Amino acid sequence: MITQVTNNINNDTLMIDMSIGNICNYQCWYCFKGAHEGNHKWFNYDILIKNTDRLLNWYKNQGKTKFDIHFVGGEPTHWPKLLDYIKYLKDNYNCLISMTSNGSKKLDLWNKFAKYFDKIHLSYHYRQANLQSFINVADLLYKNKVIVSASVMMDPLDWDKCILAIEKMKKSKYRWTIRYSEILSNKEYTEKQKIILKKHKARSANPLWFFINNKYKSTKIYVDKKRVPDNYILVNKLNKFKGWKCNLGLDWIHISPNGELSGTCGQHLFGKDKNYNFRQKTFYKKFNPTLQPVVCTQCECNCMPETNITKCLV
């Protein structure tokens, strides 16, 4: 049994995980519910800008001067206004911009993205991705000094083929990070597969290139004051925090495809019994909560960044 999770997140930094819709060109069997149904279209851009200003300026008044903003979907690169929004954020706020993408768009679009993103996390899905195109995207981002990594979703139904894909990735022109990524499902891994998953990385990035170009603070996670790998809690199934006090809302917020501010699991924030909605026209008028930790009401936590934010058993 564990009683505490801590990390090295700076008090002046707010991490925002923003799902701008759930439209996706992939339909992976293991994808979490709500991520690719396509029932939440893209944000109204004018409302989005007004609500963004309210949200970020409110947190600035709470002492949060840096914003680590990460885009997820669906597939975020489908949103036609993505570049416009990122340019707005970069021009008006002190922020780092990152994204999780399946990397399926053409190289000319990735050339445009490379000018504005600080980090891109590419997610490789064996049954749907074109492996060589995926490698080409990662190489392009590396060449443009974007911190790029690839997570291979280790489908237990196609394990050997995922391993072969990793071996081909290792022959890429540039040396970017490759990770084994565990799929959370009712499909069990073998003991041998679990050992491989615990390695977490199949390849690390070129260390000199990473040192020169990385703008992010290296993550340090502690469980009961002992330093652990980033995926330690999930791999060891220690992710049950119901009743714990957690820094959701203080250090991290998730904006879901339907616009709600919550944890990725739907956990309410700010001591409320309902969620503020970022899509609403009146959000910029209504958003004025009391900043406080949450007491977790969820059975388990399946988002690695959220499992790793500061929390304790009470």
Terminal-residue alpha carbon distance, the chain: 13
Q: At residue 7, does pLDDT exceed 70?
A: yes
State pLDDT tens for residues 114-154: 999 999 999 999 999 999 999 999 999 999 999 999 999 99
The rounded distance, in Å, linking the Cα atoms of 71 and 187 is 28
- Average pLDDT value over all residues in the chain: 92
pLDDT at res. 34: 59
Q: Considering Cα of 46, then 52, then 53, then 58, what sign does the dihedral take? A: positive
pLDDT at res. 38: 56
Q: Predicted confidence band at 304 (pLDDT cuts at 50, 70, 90)?
A: confident
The rounded distance, in Å, linking the Cα atoms of 100 and 150 is 10
Among 69, 68, 63, 70, which residue's Cα sits nearest to residue 12? 63
Percentage of residues of the chain with pLDDT beyond 70:
97
pLDDT at res. 36: 59
Least reliable range by pLDDT among 29-43, 80-94, 108-122: 29-43
pLDDT at res. 235: 82
State pLDDT tens for residues 162-188: 999 999 999 999 999 999 998 877 788
**Helix 159-169 and helix 131-143: axis angle, to 10°?**
40
Least reliable range by pLDDT among 88-92, 158-162, 181-185: 181-185
State pLDDT tens for residues 221-270: 999 999 998 888 988 889 999 999 999 999 999 998 889 999 988 899 99
Q: Which amino acid is at 270?
A: F
Q: Look at 24 and 92; give whichever has higher pLDDT.
A: 92
The rounded distance, in Å, linking the Cα atoms of 29 and 26 is 10
pLDDT at res. 35: 61
CB pairs under 8 A, 24+ apart, for 213-219? 213/145, 213/146, 213/147, 214/147, 215/96, 215/118, 215/119, 215/147, 216/68, 216/96, 216/118, 216/119, 216/147, 217/8, 217/10, 218/8, 219/7, 219/8, 219/308
42-77 b/e (C-beta count within 10 Å ≥ 16 → b): bbeeebbbebbebbbeebbeeebeebbbbbbbbbbb
pLDDT at res. 105: 95
pLDDT at res. 42: 80
pLDDT at res. 268: 93
Q: Predicted confidence band at 37 (pLDDT cuts at 50, 70, 90)?
A: low
The neighbouring-strand residues paired with 71 are 18, 99
Neighbours of 4 (CB within 10 A): 13
Least reliable range by pLDDT among 10-14, 55-59, 73-77, 190-194: 73-77
pLDDT at res. 273: 87
| Backbone torsion region of residue 33, taken as left when φ is above 0, otherwise alpha when ψ lies between -120 and 50, otherwise beta | beta
Q: Which amino acid is at 197?
A: L
Among 69, 70, 76, 68, which residue's Cα sits nearest to residue 35? 76
Pairing of strands 311-312, 294-295: unpaired
